[in-house]
Structure 1
Amino acid sequence: MRTGRRGGSVNGEPEVSEELTRRLKAYEGRAATVAAVGRDPVNEPMIRHWCEAMDDSNPAYQGPRAVAPPTMLQVWTMGGLSGHTGRTDAYDELLGLLDEAGCTAVVATDCEQEYVRPLRPGDEITFDAVVESVSDRKSTKLGTGYFVTTRTDIRAGGELAGTHRFRILKYAPARAPARASARAPALATVPTSDRRREAPEERRPRPVVNRDNAGFWEGVDRHELLIQRCTGCGSLRFPWLPGCSACGCPEWDTVEASGEGRVFSYVVVHHPPFPAFAPPYSVALIELAEGVRIISNVVGVPYDKVRIGMPVRLRFRRYDDESVLPVFQGVSP
């Protein structure tokens, strides 16, 4: 019964909401992580991988006197797939309280970093974190929930090297009104046998829609796969970005993809299982005829028959009343 009342608080019971907010704010100032140790010292391979991924050739990050890029500050504190060490019961209790209130979804919203001194290969990292703030209840396009901000102080050899503030939104997903499509049903072009075999048992996770990609998802709702086109230099780009990486122009329009493409690369997922996904299944990087690439599922063919170079055609698959996603139908040669 208690869980139900908390869940009701997110949906508009003022007195319960006030009580929940009071309990949440009691965690402000409490430790989230204590005396945690970085899994690895600051090291050259991770610096090199970062710089290659970011296309950053700054000479300060190379050679015998190299320093780590300042923006890698959080990297040295990450727990990896095995999880974090040093996290307190208080932080887990805070997240658990939000879960019980119906705020089961989470999205990172922003971070803020302050750099005190450069980190160099060989530095041993330790860090502590505190719950800096919990907001009042907020209503967003994603849903209603609470912003939780943690502040992490990162040290090298016991000396403060930087501070990292990280904010998440824990929220109860909003239910969008069902939309009637003017087009044919999303699965009309997929044989009935394929629909039964490939239909997920649970709803797909919802994409995070923001001001930079909202136009893309609006196009998907209309069964259009839209590619951004820079109006400055004409370059096509995907995924959607606020500006052109080729010329820097912030202005753009869109072109609709023809839907033809080929498998550029792929993986077959066997483990771990996730709700709404039943392994094994294939996830592919599709190169569209227009030259850009998109990650999606290959459907209509067995997972072990997907091959690099396989021709595919765009389909729009409706998973429930709220979710339409682009997928690609394998085409037999």
Structure 2
Amino acid sequence: MKKLIILALAFNSFLAHATLKKGFDSLLFNNDKYSTKSFLVIKDGKTLYQNSSKLYSVEKKQRVWSATKSIAGTLIGIAEKHGLINRNELVSKYYPKVSNKLTIQHLLNMSSGLTWNESYESNPLNSDVLKMLYISNFKDMAKFVSKKDQKYQPGEYFNYSSGESNFLMSVLQKKLSLSDYESFPWRKLFIPLGIKDVTWERDHQNNFVASSYLYISPVDLAKIGQLYLNKGEWNGVQIFDEEWVEFSSLNSPSTFKTELKGHMSGATYGAHWWLNKAHPKFGKKHKNAPVDILMALGHHGQSMTIIPSEKMIIVRTANDRENRFNLNDVFSLLFKDKYVRGEAK
């Protein structure tokens, strides 16, 4: 009888896995709406699903665009653990012309109050991010950001800004010698995690382009996700403080004060991570996912999702030019309506 039960459970598990594989294949790789390069799901430290389109693999490094921001935020957490930075520190210490109320935490929360236009294709002529990345301002991106007008008081208004990520890294740069800064991501994060093949571009001031220009494989990106599931610990070494995970998961109060529009409507944001907290007006943005997720999201469909309650990491690289991919479709395949019915939060 016991053997029959074990066989039945194994068969049910096989069927569930086959159904999940079929669903992911259909959604991600047999769907003309989207252009998925690679997709990887890890649960309980084991690969649940992986697939890639031609020319790509989960081991091949790819540009992850704005998912870079979350890695930059992670480095700030590491720097704080080593006493190099304090989230409550005033940025005016390094850039005297900015508001004397602006802190590192405001930059982490995208609530500096500095004027910024993040639009790309819809309004390229007025786009601050395009001016920063592709025109003369790429020589010193942080300086370009520091000269923007103070439109709101720090902490008052949420405004997603690639400029704030680059500004953030420039503060870290000012804390270190050039050689220590250039090696910091490798010494303190990549090498301890066994990440060997990674590229991170810098501007002419040698500041890492924290907004956009990290090249890393899905497998290696998932290692950083696992580091968060481990609450900052890796092979017995505490890379960043356990509290940093909690801090990263706290919704920035400014997101509830700000009416976000378009694809950001109902979104919540922590310390350089997108969240799925229940918005007082819209509820959860991703209805089929729990509230504890952390998301690193990038242009054209790049994403890494960390789900502590499910001990799961999901990585997707893509080139979605025509249609915006909806992560809730992935969550629906994984969890059905488990988080809609209220069985779990």
Say yes or no: TM over 0.5: no
Larger radius of gyration: 1
The one of the two structures with greater contact order (alpha-carbon pairs below 8 A, sep at least 6) is: 2
| Structure with the higher fraction of residues in helix conformation | 2
| Structure with the higher fraction of residues in strand conformation | 1
